[in-house]
Amino acid sequence: MNPGHLTEMQLQGLSDGTLRGPEGLAAREHCGSCAACGAELASYSALVARLSALTDPEAPADFTAAVLARVAVREAQLETRRQTLLAAIPACALAVVAIIGFGLSLHVDKLIDGLAVARTVLGVLGPVFAATRIPLGIGAFLFLAAVLTALSRTLKPAYARSVES
Ligand SMILES: [Zn+2]
């Protein structure tokens, strides 16, 4: 910028009235004698006049009510989801217990395997474990699969609703 001319800060100060005192007087005098700064000051002044003429846009009359209604709908959806999850916890816990039971039955099987004293007991229980192990495991996994399927089905409408809104 030409050192003789006013800075943008000075021009803006002049146009919005914040540049006062001797500095403001000198700046105004410069604008009176300098065509370039005078033109810039005029454009800044026009801008300031337009900006001060602007008013905040009016919010729609039902804005607050609409926002609150949306918040209420969202909270209701979250509550529904929470309750569905809470309802699913016992079922999941049962499935986990069943699977752990399956694992423990294998463990007990090995434990008994290691005890020489219990070999006769194993002779009796062995076939029982062998007979129950597979169905128990399959049952546990089927149960877990059923719980997860039911869970995904009950959660889907909640997701669909939240996407729609
Ligand atoms: Zn100038």
pLDDT in tens, 80-135: 888 888 888 888 888 888 888 777 776 666 666 666 666 676 676 667 766 777 77
Q: Cα-Cα-Cα-Cα dihedral of 111, 117, 121, 127, to 10°?
A: 50
Residues with CB under 5 A from ligand 1 (ion): 5, 34, 37
Cα 29 to middle of ligand 1, angstroms = 10
102/94 Cα distance (integer angstroms)? 12
Q: Is residue 94 part of a domain?
A: yes
Q: Is residue 46 part of a domain?
A: yes
Cα 54 to middle of ligand 1, angstroms = 30
Structural contact between residues 46 and 14, judged by C-beta atoms closer than 8 angstroms: no
Token output for 127: 């076939």
41/47 Cα distance (integer angstroms)? 10
Least Cα distance to 16 among 57, 59, 58, 46 occurs for 46
Do 87 and 136 fall within a single domain?
yes
Cα 53 to middle of ligand 1, angstroms = 28
Cα 7 to middle of ligand 1, angstroms = 9
Token output for 99: 């699977």
SS3 24: helix
CA dihedral (115, 116, 122, 126) positive or negative: positive
Cα 87 to middle of ligand 1, angstroms = 77
Q: Is residue 65 part of a domain?
A: no
pLDDT in tens, 25-65: 999 999 999 999 999 999 999 999 998 888 888 888 888 88
Do 29 and 87 fall within a single domain?
no
Cα 40 to middle of ligand 1, angstroms = 9
Q: Is residue 64 part of a domain?
A: no
Structural contact between residues 68 and 113, judged by C-beta atoms closer than 8 angstroms: no
Do 159 and 85 fall within a single domain?
yes
Q: Is residue 43 part of a domain?
A: yes
Do 109 and 159 fall within a single domain?
yes
Q: What is the pLDDT of residue 111?
A: 64
Do 89 and 156 fall within a single domain?
yes
Q: Is the pLDDT of residue 1 over 50?
A: no
Cα 50 to middle of ligand 1, angstroms = 24
Structural domain including 12 reads 8-53
Do 49 and 85 fall within a single domain?
no
When divided into structural domains, the chain yields a total of 2
Least Cα distance to 135 among 89, 96, 101 occurs for 101
Cα 10 to middle of ligand 1, angstroms = 11
Cα 8 to middle of ligand 1, angstroms = 11
